[in-house]
Amino acid sequence: MTHQIDLEAEIQRLLTEHERIAEQGITVHRRENVVVLGGEVESVERRDEICRQITGHFPEIEITCDIGITRAQAPSEVEEIS
Amino acid sequence: MIRIAAVGDVHVDKDVVGRYRPALEQLPDRADALLVAGDLTRHGTPEEAKCFAKEFGGLAVPVVVVLGNHDHQTDQQEQVTEVLTDAGITVLECSATVLEIRGHRLGIAGAKGFGGGFAGACASNFGEREMKDFVGTTEAISARLGETLRSVRCDALVALTHYAPVPETLVGEPLEIYPFLGCYQLGNAIDSAPTALALHGHAHHGSERGRTPGGVPVRNVAHPVIKQAYNVYQLLTDSVDSELVPV
């Protein structure tokens, strides 16, 4: 059985190294029997692919996905640099 | 007055094309140039670079970028650079460009940068060949960025990197990975020239604002940090005449 700390490391590496994911900014936290994923990605497709791959690789793990999609609206403010 | 729009870590691929464009089309009303602080793509393939060029190219303002670590993933950074350059995008790597903007010369010196860590917790050029190669890369890139910055003649000088030059803009990231997010040598390079602003990305969970030891303002413009299509920074302030509200 995979130890907790190894599981988190394995998920982190899967998220980075899987050719269809390549995400380094996803957080992985254990909450009792649930693994909670956090962070933001650029599209709904990427978030869904992350959940699909983790579920496929670790079918015994319950996943909660709190991954958001980064907003891409134009800014309304400017910062003066001094 | 010069206004610079900046963002990093947009990781464009087919699924992202169209997301940024509405905000980018508004750029001429908001900024004089767009700087992108690396990680333009997911894996650094020419196909992804074409997606980036489609999304971020052909704008009414100059676009200047550096590559990030993702843009090196498939070892095709030269082809990626060629795709971007053909699309009219300026790609910097230990090099600089000067833009003429309303009578001012905006100098931009850029480099991807590299890791290595910060004072009190940095890697040293010592021991195994692999460790010396790692730190040697850090030192070489930083030295070349410093030379480039000092060579630019302009009214306002901006340093553009992917990796962070200070630890302040990494706050929020796990301390354990700071050495993979930036290095103090980049900060020293920035301080060796009259730099007005340093922009970087890479740290998705970091903080927006910091300063180098020499006092240069540093901004982490990673997309998940700024949470909008781009931020706008104003240099050489003499008046406020845009529809954007100063903060």
Q: State the residue range of the domain holding B89.
A: 2-235
pLDDT of residue A3: 57
Domain-located, residue B24: yes
Q: How many CA atoms lie within 13 A of A79 on its CB side?
A: 17
Does residue B202 form part of some domain? yes
Cβ contact (<8 Å) for B233 and A81? yes
Question: Using the beta-carbon criterion (under 8 Å), do B224 and A40 form an inter-chain contact?
Answer: yes
- Interface touch A39/B204, C-beta < 8 Å: yes
The predicted structure's pLDDT at residue A32: 81
What single letter denotes the amino acid at residue B223? H
Does a structural domain hold residue A77?
Answer: no
In a domain, A10, yes or no: yes
Give every residue of chain B whose pLDDT is below 50, as ranges. none
Where does A1-82 have alpha helices with state H?
4-17, 44-57
Q: How many domains does chain B have?
A: 1
- Report the length, in residues, of chain A: 82
The answer to whether residue A81 is domain-embedded is no
* Structural domain includes residue B80: yes
pTM above 0.90, yes or no: yes
**Is position A26 within any domain?**
yes
Chain B hits for A74, CB-CB cut-off 8 Å, are 22-23, 26, 30, 228-230
> In the structure, what pLDDT confidence band is assigned to residue A1 with cuts at 50, 70 and 90?
very low
> In this complex, do A78 and B234 lie within 8 Å of one another by their Cβ atoms?
yes
CB contact under 8 A, B16 and A71: no
Mean pLDDT calculated for residue range A68-79: 96
The CATH number linked to A54 is 3.30.70.1350
| pLDDT of res. B126 | 95
Q: How far is B233 from chain A (nearest CA, A)?
A: 5
DSSP state of A18: S
Domain encompassing residue A38: 4-69
Q: How confident is the model at residue A8 (pLDDT cuts 50, 70, 90)?
A: confident
Is residue A18 included in any domain, yes or no?
A: yes
A76 domain residue, yes or no: no
Residue B77 lies in a domain: yes
Please check whether residue A79 lies inside any domain of the structure.
no
Average pLDDT over residues A3-13: 81
Looking at the structure of chain A, the number of domains it has is 1
pLDDT at residue number B240: 52
pLDDT tens per residue, range A35-60 = 999 999 999 999 999 999 999 999 98
Report residue B224 CA to chain centroid gap. Answer: 15
Interface of B with A in 26-65 (CB under 8 A): 26, 30, 42-43
CATH number at residue B114: 3.60.21.10
| pLDDT of res. B24 | 98
Burial label, A69 (beta-carbon count in 10 A; 0-12, 13-18, 19+): middle
Is the Cα dihedral A9, A10, A16, A21 positive or negative? negative
pLDDT of residue B243: 59
Is residue A21 assigned to a domain? yes
Q: Residue B197's closest chain A neighbor by CA?
A: A81
